[in-house]
C-alpha cells in the first residue's frame, strides 16, 4: 500500500428501511446525473448498478422495494444463494462482477445476466460451454488492469486487442464493453487516469473492431470514485457501500491477490 496508506474509507451509514434505501439510491443517482451533465453527457447513458455483496437477503428485499432491480455481486456462490432465495421477485437480475473460477461457470450460466470480469480464454470457454447447455447468452465486460497493481485482476492493457479478437468464437457471449477497478488512492488524478486508460482503450478497440467486435460500454466507478468515473465516460457505475452502508468484511476477501489464486 505504501503511499496510499493514508486513504481511509469514509463511513457509510447502514440503510435499514425501504425509505433509507430510496434516499441513498436517489442521492447517488443525483450525483451521477450532475457528474454526467458536468461532462456534457446525457445522464440516461449512465446506469447505476447496486452492489449487494455481504448484504443479507432480508435487507435486499428492502432495497428492491426501493427500486433496485439489477444487483451486482462479487462472488458466484453468494450471488447464486441470493438469486435462489429471492427467486420469488419477478424481473430481478444479477451481474457477477468478480473474478470467476472456471468450475463456477456453470452457476453463472444459470442465473446471471451479466459478467463484468472476463480476463482469460479459459473463463470464456467454460462460460460458452455452460451457456450452450442452459441455452442462454450472457453480456460480458472484459476486465482490464488499468492501475498496474498486482493485487488487481484483469488483462494488461497491451493484451486487450489480441484477447478481444478471439472472443467472436464464443457466440454465447455478447461482448458489450470493458470493466476496471481504479487504483485505491486519495490522489484523484491517479484515479482518473485509470478511467481515462479504459476509455481510450475502448475507443481504440472500437475503431479497430478486432474480430468485428465493438464493445462500447464502460463499467467503472464505485462508492469512492463514481463521480469521476462518470465524468470520464462510465456507462455503468458499480456502487455498494454508498447505497447499503459500510462493509465490515475487508475488501481483500473480495479482491484477493491474483497470484495467490489456484485458478488464475
Q: How far is the CB of 15 from ligand PLP (least distance, A)?
A: 13
Task: Look at strands 93-96 and 70-73 and give their pairing.
Answer: parallel
Q: Cβ(154)–Cβ(143) under 8 Å?
A: yes
> Do residues 68 and 21 touch, judged by C-beta distance below 8 A?
yes
List helix spans (H) across 55-159. 57-65, 76-85, 105-111, 121-134
Coil, strand or helix: which one is 71? strand
54 binds ligand PLP, rule: CB under 6 A: no
Which lies closer to ligand PLP via its Cβ, residue 127 or residue 210? 127
Q: Say how many residues touch ligand PLP, by CB under 6 A.
A: 14
Judged by beta carbon, residue 83 or residue 223, the one nearer ligand PLP is 223
Q: How far is the CB of 148 from ligand PLP (least distance, A)?
A: 17
Q: Is 235 in the site for ligand PLP (CB under 6 A)?
A: no
All cell numbers assigned to 263: 485458478
Q: Which stretch binds ligand PLP (CB under 6 A): 32-40, 124-132, 182-190, 235-243?
A: 235-243
Q: Are 11 and 33 in contact (CB under 8 A)?
A: no
Residue from 21, 94, 163, 254 touching ligand PLP (CB under 6 A): that is 254
Instruction: Note whether 130 binds ligand PLP by CB under 6 A.
Output: no
d(CA 209, CA 215): 8
- Is residue 146 part of the contact set for ligand PLP (CB under 6 A)? no
Of 30-38, 161-169, 187-195, 238-246, which segment contacts ligand PLP by CB under 6 A? 238-246
**Is 172 among the residues that bind ligand PLP (CB under 6 A)?**
no
- Quote the CA–CA distance of 167 and 197 in Å, as a whole number: 21
* 194 forms part of the interface with ligand PLP (CB under 6 A): no
Question: Rounded to an integer, what distance in angstroms lies between the CA atom of residue 224 and that of residue 188?
Answer: 10
CB of 81 to ligand PLP, least distance (A): 17
Assigned C-alpha cell, 231: 465524468
Which residue in 46, 48, 51, 76 binds ligand PLP (CB under 6 A)? 51
Q: Which CB atom, from 115 or from 170, has the smaller least distance to ligand PLP?
A: 115
Least CB distance from residue 118 to ligand PLP, whole Å? Answer: 13
How many helices and strands (H and E) does the chain possess? 9, 8
Which residues 84-123 are close enough to bind ligand PLP by CB under 6 A? Answer: 97-98
Burial class (CB in 10 A: 0-12, 13-18, 19+), 189: exposed
Quote the crossing angle between the two packed helices 57-65 and 76-85, to the nearest 10°.
70
Binding residues for ligand PLP, per CB under 6 A?
Answer: 51, 53, 74, 97-98, 181, 222-223, 238-242, 254
Amino acid at each position: 500500500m505504501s503511499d496510499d496508506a493514508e486513504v481511509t474509507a469514509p463511513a457509510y451509514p447502514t440503510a435499514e428501511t425501504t425509505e433509507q434505501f430510496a434516499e441513498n439510491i436517489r442521492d447517488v443517482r443525483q450525483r451521477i446525473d450532475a457528474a454526467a451533465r458536468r461532462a456534457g453527457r446525457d445522464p440516461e447513458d449512465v446506469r447505476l448498478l447496486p452492489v449487494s455483496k455481504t448484504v443479507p437477503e432480508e435487507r435486499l428485499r428492502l432495497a428492491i422495494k426501493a427500486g433496485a432491480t439489477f444487483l451486482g455481486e462479487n462472488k458466484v456462490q453468494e450471488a447464486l444463494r441470493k438469486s435462489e432465495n429471492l427467486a420469488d421477485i419477478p424481473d430481478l437480475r444479477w451481474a457477477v462482477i468478480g473474478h470467476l473460477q472456471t468450475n463456477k461457470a456453470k452457476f453463472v450460466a444459470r442465473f446471471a445476466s451479466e459478467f463484468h470480469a472476463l480476463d482469460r480464454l479459459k473463463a470464456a470457454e467454460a462460460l460458452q460451454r455452460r451457456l450452450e447447455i442452459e441455452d442462454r447468452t450472457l453480456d460480458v465486460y472484459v476486465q482490464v488492469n488499468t492501475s498496474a497493481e498486482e493485487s488487481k485482476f484483469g488483462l494488461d492493457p497491451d493484451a486487450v486487442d489480441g484477447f478481444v479478437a478471439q472472443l467472436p468464437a464464443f457466440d454465447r457471449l455478447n461482448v458489450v464493453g470493458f470493466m476496471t477497478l481504479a487504483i485505491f488512492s486519495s490522489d484523484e488524478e491517479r484515479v482518473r487516469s485509470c478511467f481515462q486508460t479504459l476509455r481510450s482503450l475502448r475507443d481504440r478497440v472500437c475503431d479497430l473492431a478486432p474480430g468485428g467486435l465493438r464493445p462500447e460500454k464502460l463499467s467503472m466507478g464505485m462508492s469512492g470514485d463514481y463521480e469521476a468515473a462518470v465524468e470520464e465516460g462510465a456507462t455503468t457505475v458499480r456502487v455498494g457501500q454508498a447505497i447499503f452502508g459500510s462493509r465490515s468484511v475487508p475488501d481483500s476477501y473480495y479482491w484477493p491477490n491474483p497470484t495467490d489464486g489456484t485458478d488464475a
